[in-house]
Structure 1
């Protein structure tokens, strides 16, 4: 499975647009953003205290304090009107501009007023101590925000500090979601006839698409008719950045879905079937430049596979090359878990008191997912995990 996913790297990327900083959270920059000037732009104090010449504090101690004359004070937001000369000190607030002549700031905790206009210093400081350089955050031209990584709150703060009020980002990928099956009916159906099921998968997939930075577009429910599916897919292809199909679980329906996808355009199907449980009948294709993902019909299988495989494809289409980290925790496995070599197993678990307890059930049961706090992955090379093993649990947000 790892080889199939590593090789499936569709080239499609969404267009670039400029958005204001207020709308840029989680958007993906299309190009690196550089500092237009040094940041913070001036040397400033990191503590409340006194701006001094570091050499004037050498050798001082609590038993042998040094004495400096206070010649002025720096106000916040104002340029200093005083220069620090030998034997002098200037009162400093945190964030204040370092006055000329000073090369350090001694914390107020290490000073005391000896007499009006004179302080004693009981701890020496080194040049640069208590000070941020004018270009310590960034030099002019430095990359302050890389491309390919979704913007975080702290990134927006950095951009604002640099005076950048808009950023060029990739448009959100438009992801068209189709459900298929004669038995599938809209969620708003009040009364189900025998054999009918409400479409639970599309709503959950839309949420996962949004989590991955995409814009979900409902494609509707298509009957088990390869001609109807192909027609619907062809109609959606021009306006889609990614197409997702929740296909039927039976072999015949899967084959019809694959045949419809194969006729959409080159290069066609990348793989049909993955060594993963749940989710073996997954289909990956690229048709006329649009990635197409065929998911199993069982809701749990579809959602598990899309989280692992579909979400990265959506992110990539939106220019994201550095996926945001997922929340996880370490826990001890409560029981033995068997697995087949050469197959990646995804096991849902509940977590409590540092213990991961597997939650089992058929792939058609959504209650397994709603009961789980997260999941663990048994790698392809493993034959299982022993009770008591330390495992990484990927947590659901």
Structure 2
């Protein structure tokens, strides 16, 4: 599955679909137990079983009257059933009264079903014709207006599955079952290395001729955080021979993933392939994607466990962020034990103009959306403003040679 690449051998290109299916590092983060208040979007390391049934007792789902269903059969507006009101159930308390034949008990939503009853008739279908007598105008079947003691979750059944990020309702279900801590995968530690003599820290007040502030690292850190990872900014490495290899040797022992930003473009200054080849194995150097073709994927030995995935990104910010969203974000989720990343929000729209494309290459096009129309945004891949102005992006599939104006397209929206 991997291949040795040495020196400056370049563009062992793969398609994006081949990459998503084939580059699947086995490394996973360690397991830690976190309190429920810190578990949102974390990935359980194993399914969490219910210690008991939920809700744990037969309860009413409506306001009304607990009855024996047989006592309501045939009831109608013209020929109601009349039942003796023998008591009431209080919320949060065990019923102190049972339902006899021909009797009923007043019930609040969520109340415990009293003995003798097998259904609850809604208050809308009843009336108190005289003190102590309830008129029922609709029949109810056994089990009507109720939830069983184990209808939400049976004892021992999975409250939440392994490998799927926890959502807000999951936390509620865990809390209802009395589970207050969850074993989850640790957040992947993702080290971000910027390279290039022309790159300077964002805090640089005055730029010299040819210098650029490091914008890509901050944006990548945001994507890593969104994917549940812990970004670690390792600073800027100059183009000196051997400098990147030295930096990689220093960060790999404590990293779950390494991103090399701006060190994977064609040319004499491409140090990424050589540095990575000296330390590990390169899976591919080049993706059939626009923008973002000069992308490198590899694995290198780390401090503990399986090899550490290394992603070498193009130097242009737009290209780097487009590629990392498609390839890197799923890798971060995978390291945290999530095989299928949570889907991003999407919408359907009509394309405002023709889009040309080359067969065999995935084209990622930034768009704005107005009144259901997707308008492509174009600009050099060095311009981050193309991304900041976009509402989302569409993908021209690898087999296609373009899309026609008016085509219905799927747009992935930015959150």
Equivalent-residue separation in structure 2 for 1:226 and 1:117 (angstroms):
94
Match of 1:150 among 165, 184, 188: 165
Matched, 1:256 2:271: yes
Other-structure match for 2:382: 364
Equivalent-residue separation in structure 2 for 1:169 and 1:250 (angstroms):
37
Equivalent residue of 1:308, what SS?
helix
Equivalent-residue separation in structure 1 for 2:24 and 2:241 (angstroms):
27
Alignment of 1:8-157 (within 5 A): 8-157=23-172
**Residue-by-residue CA offset, 1:96-142 (whole Å, 9 max, x unaligned):** 00111111100000000111000100111111111010000011110
Equivalent residue of 2:267, what SS?
helix
TM-score of the pair, normalised by structure 1: 0.98
Other-structure match for 2:300: 287
1:252, distance to aligned residue in structure 2 (A): 2.3
Other-structure match for 1:205: 220
Relative distance call for 1:255 and 1:373 in structure 2 (3 A) is same
1:249, distance to aligned residue in structure 2 (A): 5.8
Match of 2:326 among 299, 308, 315: 308
1:4, distance to aligned residue in structure 2 (A): 2.3
1:63, distance to aligned residue in structure 2 (A): 1.2
Structure with larger RCO (C-alpha < 8 A, sep 6+): 2
Other-structure match for 1:189: 204
Equivalent-residue separation in structure 2 for 1:253 and 1:212 (angstroms):
33
Other-structure match for 1:296: 314
Counterpart contact for 2:244–2:271, Cα < 8 Å: no
Equivalent-residue separation in structure 1 for 2:95 and 2:349 (angstroms):
56
1:302, distance to aligned residue in structure 2 (A): 0.2
**Residue-by-residue CA offset, 1:211-241 (whole Å, 9 max, x unaligned):** 0000000110001124000000010000000
Equivalent-residue separation in structure 2 for 1:249 and 1:239 (angstroms):
23
Other-structure match for 2:397: 379
Runs of 4+ in 1 over 2 A off after TM superposition: 247-250, 252-256
Match of 2:262 among 247, 260, 263: 247
Q: Which runs of 5+ in 1 are unaligned?
A: none
Equivalent-residue separation in structure 1 for 2:147 and 2:117 (angstroms):
13
1:253, distance to aligned residue in structure 2 (A): 4.9
> Root-mean-square deviation (CA), in Å?
0.9
TM-score of the pair, normalised by structure 2: 0.94
Relative distance call for 1:114 and 1:132 in structure 2 (3 A) is same
Counterpart contact for 1:254–1:281, Cα < 8 Å: no
Match of 2:282 among 263, 269, 282: 269
Matched, 1:233 2:248: yes
Q: Which runs of 5+ in 2 are unaligned?
A: 1-14, 302-306
